[in-house]
Amino acid sequence: MQNRRGHWNPLQSIHSHRHGNDDADKVSSKKILVFGNPLVPQDSLALRILPALRKKFPKIDFIELDGTDDLHEYGRNLVILDVAAGIKKVSVVEDLDDLELPRVLSMHDFDLAWNLKILLKAGMIDSVKIIAIPQGMDEKKALAGVEKILPKFATSST
């Protein structure tokens, strides 16, 4: 995904898919979908800080995903944690209209941004919030930045 102003670009992921025993229709903002590729250092930061986040925020269910095909199964209001290029600090992206879609030449180019925009347009989801961690950020700084943002997701009911 690219932001017209800042070239925001979450990287694709290919790691294992974990669902747990969750009732997918009852997903709330207390569940956060986590993307990343443990095999690619610049795309694994969200996964590397995940153990510390789980320990600090035990009431949030962090769900690691390896693809974007079934996002709508996690509810109508999605919260996503992912690494992004072109940003300088941990940020929350709430308006997908600011994102430029990459040119699709193959299915490999069909990324998270495309899926989210299609799901919104089709009415399959109502909202999405992306907690974006800058690509290449120091692990301790990334953890501190996400820890500042997460309390509002742990207590909100949306």
Domain boundaries, the chain: 2-153
Q: Cα separation of 111 and 10, whole Å?
A: 9
pLDDT averaged over every residue in the chain: 76
Predicted local confidence at residue 133, as pLDDT = 94
pLDDT digits (tens, 9 = 90+) for 35-91: 988 898 888 999 999 999 999 999 999 999 877 778 889 999 999 999 888 889 999
Q: Residues of 85-123 as b/e, b for ≥16 C-beta within 10 angstroms?
A: bebeebbebeebeebeeeeeeeeeebbbbbbbbbbbeee
Per-residue CA distances from 125 to 51, 74, 84, 95, 139 (Å): 28, 9, 22, 14, 31
Q: Cα separation of 2 and 143, whole Å?
A: 23
Q: Cα separation of 43 and 82, whole Å?
A: 8
Tokens of 104: 């699709």
Total-model pTM: 0.75
Q: Residue 106: is its pLDDT beyond 60?
A: no
With respect to CATH, is domain 2-153 assigned 3.50.50.60?
no
pLDDT digits (tens, 9 = 90+) for 115-156: 888 899 899 999 999 999 999 999 999 999 999 999 987 665
